[in-house]
Amino acid sequence: MGCLFCNIINGETPSDRVYENDSVYAFRDINPQAPVHILVVHKEHTKNIDETTPENSHIYSDIFMAVKEIASQEKLDNGYRVIINNGSAAGQVIWHLHVHILSGKDNLGPMISNG
Ligand code: AMP
Ligand code: ZN
């Protein structure tokens, strides 16, 4: 079975692109949880943090350099929240590592729901 985010990266599945460089692709979440909700993915497929190795750990520096660029490009000057849902208990449903950027309001609320 194919990977949705790999298909978004290669253009087979359409997306609302925000940013792209040689290693990273970013696009707007289809079901936004804040006025700004951007997903940042690496072009190299890994499932999640559990697959991190010394050989692929550049994925994190590539992603977070892009997060900084995107924050500047999108003028997220008041701040933003960065979330990685890692594994099913965290609510990960797409098994291609991705960082959520949430922003666009003065107070994003509690860090975690108590429900
Ligand atoms: P997670 O729960 O961390 O695995 O997050 C997956 C995210 O992908 C959710 O916020 C979804 O709304 C988002 N999503 C699913 N399909 C698409 C799509 N085709 N384009 C953009 N975002 C998507
Ligand atoms: Zn993938």
Which CATH number fits the domain that encloses residue 50? 3.30.428.10
> Which atom, in ligand 1's list, is nearest to the CA of 27?
21
**Cα–Cα distance, 86 to 52 (Å, whole number):** 12
**Rounded Cα gap, residues 38 and 23, in angstroms:** 17
Q: Which atom of ligand 1 is nearest to the CA of 84?
A: 3
Question: What is the residue range of 41's domain?
Answer: 4-103
Catalytic sites, residue numbers: 98
Can you give the pTM of this predicted structure? Answer: 0.97
Residue 110: inside a domain: no
Return left, alpha or beta for 87; rule: phi > 0 is left, psi -120 to 50 is alpha, else beta. Answer: left
Domain total of the chain: 1
Secondary structure letter of residue 104 according to DSSP? S
Name the burial class of residue 9, with classes exposed (0-12), middle (13-18) and buried (19+) by CB atoms within 10 angstroms of its CB: buried
pLDDT score for 114: 77
pLDDT (tens digit, 9 = 90+) per residue, 7-57?
999 999 999 999 999 999 999 999 999 999 999 999 999 999 999 999 999
Q: Is residue 41 part of a domain?
A: yes
Q: Cα(20)–Cα(28) distance, rounded to whole angstroms?
A: 12
